[in-house]
Amino acid sequence: MNEETSVLVLGIGELASAVARKLHLAGHAVAINQSTPPAVIRRRMSFADAWTDGSCTFEGVEARRSDKSKDFLAGLRSGMFIPILWHNFEEVTERWPWDVIVDARPYDGKPRQRVRSLAELTIGIGHGFVAGDDCDLVIDTGLRDPGAVLRSGTLPVRPEDEDSAFPDGKVVRAPHHGLFHIAKFLGDDVEEGEIVGWIGTTPIQAPASGKLRGLARDASAVSKDAELAEVATSTQAETAGMTKRDRLIARSVAFVIEIERSGFQPISLENLL
């Protein structure tokens, strides 16, 4: 492990988990920060369950929730697992020094949190970031150039990039708030209209036939319109582990960190347009 390069990854969804895993295997001292219960339904494609269960393994790498500083430091020093910090953003970034911060949280349309100057190198993944302002570098997540690097400005909005990661998925949302109880399990085959769970006495039906790629945790409290389940309709769909797109983006992040820390400059997206 290279103890001189500490990396904080913000987020615990599919993309954040892919990035954290890649950087961990590359020998960096990596930690994940997720301060609120994750609303991740593709739980076999991320470290999300570790936040609630205490630990989980994702593609051969273990992540553990670290409630105590000694557990967090043990993970960084040993390289045996990725520690997950549930503390708020300010506490995590101020209490411990970071060489690199990677913001891989999903974009919700609101202004991105500024991470630039909080570490020697800051990287924003996806839309909403302004390279040179919110962060130092931006990594593209779109269909056209997944993993491409932007050193100034913001990513162009391309309609074809919307839902580009999972174009074969059909999502069902909560019709009202309540406790969600499962009737199926992740990876199960379902038929359109089949009950996959309940909110109180309200049945939640599969929106299409296929395989359950996403499913909220059993007995979880959900709000109206929250994602409850996702059905992958293609027989070739990726339903567990990392997608090819996320692998490309994770490799790009690892490459950028390596060359930036070595004093080189990455290939810029603007030079390719």
- pLDDT greater than 50 at residue 77: yes
CATH number of this structure's domain 169-232: 2.40.50.100
Do 249 and 15 touch, CB atoms closer than 8 A?
A: yes
Residue-level pLDDT at 36 = 94
Q: Could you give the angle at the alpha carbon of 126 between the alpha carbons of 255 and 117, nearest 5°?
A: 70
Confidence of residue 139 (pLDDT cuts 50, 70, 90): very high
- pLDDT greater than 60 at residue 272: no
Confidence of residue 2 (pLDDT cuts 50, 70, 90): very low
Burial of 95 (0-12, 13-18, 19+ CB in 10 A): exposed
Which of 2.60.120, 1.10.260, 3.40.50, 3.30.70 would CATH assign to domain 2-159+243-271?
3.40.50
Confidence of residue 164 (pLDDT cuts 50, 70, 90): low
Do 209 and 191 touch, CB atoms closer than 8 A?
A: yes
Per-domain boundaries in the chain: 2-159+243-271, 169-232
Confidence of residue 143 (pLDDT cuts 50, 70, 90): confident
Please give the model's pTM, rounded to 2 decimal places: 0.91
For strands 195-199 and 202-205, give the pairing. Answer: antiparallel
- pLDDT greater than 80 at residue 226: yes
Q: Which residues pair with 30 in a beta bridge?
A: 7
Confidence of residue 156 (pLDDT cuts 50, 70, 90): confident
Do 70 and 89 touch, CB atoms closer than 8 A?
A: no
